[in-house]
């Protein structure tokens, strides 16, 4: 078998594992379709015990379209305010489901970015990369793409989830697998 074929198989296996992990995480977060980034951020915040603040900002171009800043008390997602709503959603999913909930390691400092409302020195760690030559960055991009695709499909086909706990248990027991595919 050629090295290229082996590498392609390893990459596909890694993609399948990422999909399985995302399914588990989304089910564990108990976020039902239709997906909003606000609901997802609230669920991740509750699970991690750390607030996630979403902050639009006119980020310099060229440069990162979004970044995750970790402070002592919360996580701040800064995203490009000068883009489309769909792209904003993708940027936030990239940071939250890719980096934060994917437990990616961050770079020291804030990469030279200043954020209104945050004191100098408040940022412990940051992820602010512009290239996809890093495994974590590639995984975060794939995670955002996968969750976006699933959310689009489920927004179209899934019935509105009931807030009633008994009905949710019945759906779960009879195998309503439309949840997070």
pLDDT digits (tens, 9 = 90+) for 54-76: 999 998 888 888 988 888 889 99
Whether 40 contacts 31, CB under 8 Å:
yes
Q: How many CA atoms lie within 13 A of 139 on its CB side?
A: 23
Using one digit for the tens of pLDDT, what is the confidence trace for 97-142? 988 888 777 655 555 555 556 665 566 555 565 666 678 888 899 9
Using one digit for the tens of pLDDT, what is the confidence trace for 20-53? 999 899 889 988 778 889 999 999 999 999 999 9
Q: Which of 130, 100, 101 is nearest to 113 (CA)?
A: 130
Q: Which of 21, 17, 100, 14 is nearest to 54 (CA)?
A: 100
- The CA distance from 163 to 181, in Å, is 20
| Alpha carbon distances (Å) from 26 to 21, 31, 33, 37, 45 | 9, 6, 10, 12, 13
Q: What's the pLDDT at 56?
A: 95
Whether 161 contacts 129, CB under 8 Å:
no
User: What is the reported pTM?
Assistant: 0.78
Q: What is the mean pLDDT of the chain?
A: 80
Please report which residue ranges of 94-159 form alpha helices under DSSP H: 135-157
- The CA distance from 159 to 163, in Å, is 12
Q: What's the pLDDT at 35?
A: 84
Q: Is 65 helix (H, G, I), strand (E, B) or coil?
A: coil
- Unique residue bearing structure tokens 């977060």: 29
Sheet with strand 107-108: strands edge to edge: 51-57, 74-80, 66-71, 123-127, 107-108
Using one digit for the tens of pLDDT, what is the confidence trace for 85-94? 999 999 999 9
């Amino acid at each position: 078998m050629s090295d290229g074929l082996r590498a392609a198989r390893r990459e596909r296996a890694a993609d399948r594992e990422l999909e399985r992990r995302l399914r588990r995480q989304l089910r564990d977060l108990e976020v039902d379709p239709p997906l909003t980034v606000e609901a997802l951020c609230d669920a991740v915040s509750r699970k991690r015990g750390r607030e996630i603040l979403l902050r639009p900002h006119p980020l310099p171009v060229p440069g990162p379209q979004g970044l995750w800043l970790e402070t002592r008390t919360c996580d701040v997602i800064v995203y490009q305010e000068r883009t489309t709503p769909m792209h904003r959603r993708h940027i936030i999913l990239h940071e939250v489901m890719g980096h934060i909930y994917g437990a990616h390691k961050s770079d020291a400092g804030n990469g030279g970015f200043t954020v209104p409302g945050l004191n100098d020195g408040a940022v412990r760690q940051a992820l602010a990369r512009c290239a996809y030559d890093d495994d974590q960055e590639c995984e975060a991009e794939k995670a955002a793409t996968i969750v976006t695709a699933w959310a689009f499909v489920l927004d179209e086909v899934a019935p509105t989830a009931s807030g009633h706990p008994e009905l949710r248990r019945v759906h779960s027991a009879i195998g309503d697998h439309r949840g997070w595919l």
